[in-house]
Amino acid sequence: MNKPTGFIGLGVMGTPMALNLARSGVPLVVWSRSNNHYDTLRAAGAEVAESLDALFSQCETLILMLAHEAAIDEVLGRHTPLFEQRMAGRLIVNMSTTSSGYSRLLADEIGKGRGQYVEAPVSGSRKPAEAGQLVVMLAGMPEPVEAVRSLIQPLCRDSLVCGDVPGALTMKLAVNLFLITMVTGLAEATHFAQRQGVDLAQFAQALNVGPMASDVSRGKLGKLVAQDFSVQAAITDVLKNSRLVAQAARDLGIASPLLDVCHALYGETEALGQGGLDMVAVIHAIAQRTAQADGSP
């Protein structure tokens, strides 16, 4: 009998992803540092591990969907005697967004620990995750990559093989650069329309029927018009991602002028106490700059 797959990380993205795997019939064991959403996952057929050690003892393939590199290090036991024990004979699937350099080093260390490693970062936010419509980018050795590609089919609209590690994360960072600058531009355009007295419903209609419309622009514009800041992709996460892209650009001496402005704006939005809101809340930082420019209180 095949061993179940482990899934670690049940946040905004991880929970719907794990649910889609469980509902598709994948035998799944889950664990989260925050102990969230366990009842929902049990109802979908997943087993909840009592501890990380219990999860590792049951599973040979483990999917990680964690917030940052420190969380990955913690659950893998990296830099501790546990690491080699946890990696031996296991396939680690990193669906988190990290720096390319970190991922490359992690792949090397897992290989030395007699394990296998596949990068599998995703493009898409909470709603595509819920609908199983993510785009997954994969990198690693061909055999485990193909195994992971088959495993994650319930999560995605499409999957792309991007060569060796860190090819998938490099691709993800390039995609994120476009997403961040596009949504920030949409927020600025909405703020401009508001201040000019344009009817926002009509503004949305003009954009949505035009050549620049996309699934992302329609969804984010709807949230801006309704002033709905419920989270799909959080400000704090977008700020982290913009920091990763900026660092990757700096490492190779690549100019990133649009991203640099966006990075500052998301930092300003987080400083307003809005880190947990959706990324369209960046409009508040833009509005704050307007207020400062015209001397408004």
Residues labelled as active-site residues: 172
**Of 151, 24, 178, which Cα lies nearest the Cα of 95?**
151
Structural contact between residues 157 and 133, judged by C-beta atoms closer than 8 angstroms: yes
The alpha carbon of 253 is separated from its chain's Cα centroid by a whole number of angstroms, namely 25
Strand duo 5-8 + 61-64: pairing = parallel
Strand segments (E) across the chain: 5-8, 28-31, 47-48, 61-64, 91-94, 116-119, 122-123, 134-140, 156-161
The β-bridge partners of 134 are 156
| d(C-alpha 69, C-alpha 66), whole Å | 8
How is residue 101 written in tokens? 């350099």
One-character DSSP codes across 21-78: HHHTT--EEEE-TT--SHHHHHHTTPEEPSSHHHHHHH-SEEEE--SSHHHHHHHHTT
Structural contact between residues 169 and 99, judged by C-beta atoms closer than 8 angstroms: yes
How far is CA 174 from each of CA 86, 96, 124, 131, 293, rounded to the nearest angstrom?
Answer: 32, 15, 14, 24, 32
Strand duo 28-31 + 91-94: pairing = unpaired
| d(C-alpha 282, C-alpha 156), whole Å | 28
Residue 149 host element (H or E): helix 142-151
